[in-house]
Every structure is written in C-alpha cells, then in structure tokens.
Structure 1
C-alpha cells in the first residue's frame, strides 16, 4: 500500500477539526486501499500490530461504548462488562454510525456527533506512538496513549483479564 495525497472527506474533516480543538494537528495518513484490520494498518505503516488502536463500538446496557484497544489482542466483553458493571454486546452498524457519525472500519476516537463513553486499553501505553483511524477506512493518524485518554476523556483500563493492570 502506498500513501496518497490528502483528499477531503466529511468524517475525516470532523476528526481533523476535533483534533485541532484539542490543540493537535497530526498528519492524517491516507492509503490507496482500506486498512480495515490492525494487521493491514500495521503492515502499511511498517509498525507493530500492537501500535494500532482499534476503535470498537459496543453497547453496554444498550448505550454505545467505544473501546480503543491494541491491535495485538481482543476485547473480552464478558470480563470487561463485569469490570464496568454492565453487559457488553456488539453494536449494530446502525448504532455505530449513529453514535460516531462514522462507519465500521474507519471509526476514529473522536469527531463524533456527541461524546461517547470511551475505554482506552492500557496495552497501548507500551508504545510511544500509536495509530488510530481518522474517520475513514483509508485513514489513520499518529498519537499516543496519553493523548488518546486526554482527547477522548476516556478511562484507561485493561480489556482482557491477562492484561489486567487497572
């Protein structure tokens, strides 16, 4: 995959605006193909898969929740639900679009129509630079664990028992 010049897209523009509102102006990287998995994104960027911040939308007791997890492991929804005091389920594509204004495969950590409760995987803190989607399946931007927590108002947490260092 090669990087492309930066075209414009409404969801990406909202993410860029939200980042600017937090005093950030990271380069939005556009790829010529969608990078819909952590592995594809890591290969395209030449980084470790753990550096990819997957944006996964679930529901907890029927409310959307965004989990930003390291691409190197999966979310244990039963365990995380117990930690958060609720039942976590997979969000429908309609719920994802309504909550974030973005479609599955390109959900960014911010730039949503309204704040979404966010959990930030503590595994991401292992890397000085992590990459998150920028509102479209062909976009990512560099950030850090601390910045993700700050710009999302997210709660740092383990997302599976073996990584539990909450």
Structure 2
C-alpha cells in the first residue's frame, strides 16, 4: 500500500507521527478540507502530467487546492502543452493511486517534482500521504524539502475572488 511506503519514508526522517489518517475519505480537495478542518485552498493537490521530454517519466506539480493549471504558463515553463496522466499511468509512474497522489517516497528519478507558488499564501498546507484518507501538515519549506522538489514554479491560476481577499477574510 502506498501509505505504508510514505510512512516508511517519513519514519526515516522522524516525521511518521505527523501523518494524519481519517475515518472518512480525503480523496478530493473538498473532502480533504472537511477531514482536516481547513479551507480547500490549503489542501496541497498533486497533479500528474506527461513529460513530453521523457516519456518514461512524468511531472508532478504540487499546488494549492483552489487553483487550476494555467496552460499558457505551463507551456512557457515546460515547452509543451499540459497533458494529464490517466489514473493507470499515475499509479504506474508514482506508485500512488488517484485520491492519494503525493510527491513523497517517489523512487523513480524520471519523475520531476515541482511546487507551485500558489501555496506560498499559507503558513502550512496539507498534502496527501499515499492514500485517500491521509494528510500531513507541512510548511511550504518542509513540503519543498521532503518532496524533493526541483524548484518553485508559477504555472497555476488562483480564482480572482480569492486572490484579492486579505488573508483574514479567507
């Protein structure tokens, strides 16, 4: 099971006690936000894309739960159009099934991991831990470090009404 792989990964870092497991599903942003007790934007969703530079690999982008990928920004950064992986491809390339996809315990060096700037609006975010009923709370710096991200990128769009609100109104 992928959560066990993630648990072992975090055990090696002394962080396994920070994993939260729920009696309810956290497979979507809305369900995860409800399970954790935070607004959906603070859920770190990990999106999986085809890597047209290396068909054996893939690209994982960790982004805030209220964002969508901006295709123009994606193409400008990566040099090709964003194409999401199928659920079977996600499992094959990451070892994690849809609903629990995360950028932890990824052993394939052909999987490129990035963090999207959209998460920097928050002190902490909640990515999944390899199952559809788990999460862990990390600062953005911890997320970057423990996911072994390559860099911070800006390839998403935040809903305008949320982006313009002061933090205390969100």
* TM-score normalized with structure 2 length: 0.81
Q: Which 5+ residue runs of structure 2 have no aligned equivalent?
A: 160-170
Report if aligned partners of 1:80, 1:159 keep a CA contact under 8 Å in 2.
yes
Distance 1:130 1:26, change over 3 A: farther
Is residue 2:158 matched to residue 1:127?
A: no
Is residue 2:21 matched to residue 1:30?
A: yes
Specify the alignment match of 1:54 in structure 2: 45
Specify the alignment match of 2:134 in structure 1: 139
Distance (whole Å) between structure 2 residues aligned to residue 161 and residue 13 of structure 1: 33
Report if aligned partners of 2:66, 2:158 keep a CA contact under 8 Å in 1.
no
Distance (whole Å) between structure 2 residues aligned to residue 26 and residue 78 of structure 1: 40
Displaced runs of 4+ in structure 1, greater than 6 A? none
Distance 1:26 1:130, change over 3 A: farther
Is residue 2:161 matched to residue 1:158?
A: no
Q: After TM superposition, give the deviation of residue 20 of structure 1 in Å.
A: 3.1
Structure 2 counterpart SS, 1:89: coil
Distance (whole Å) between structure 1 residues aligned to residue 158 and residue 135 of structure 2: 28
Out of 102, 106, 117, the position equivalent to 1:108 is 102
Distance (whole Å) between structure 1 residues aligned to residue 12 and residue 108 of structure 2: 14
Distance (whole Å) between structure 2 residues aligned to residue 57 and residue 66 of structure 1: 5
Distance (whole Å) between structure 2 residues aligned to residue 77 and residue 70 of structure 1: 16
Structure 1 counterpart SS, 2:18: coil
Distance (whole Å) between structure 1 residues aligned to residue 14 and residue 154 of structure 2: 27
Q: How does 1:41-120 map to 2 (within 5 A)?
A: 41-61=32-52, 62=55, 63-115=57-109, 116-120=111-115
Specify the alignment match of 1:40 in structure 2: 31
Alignment length (residue pairs) = 154
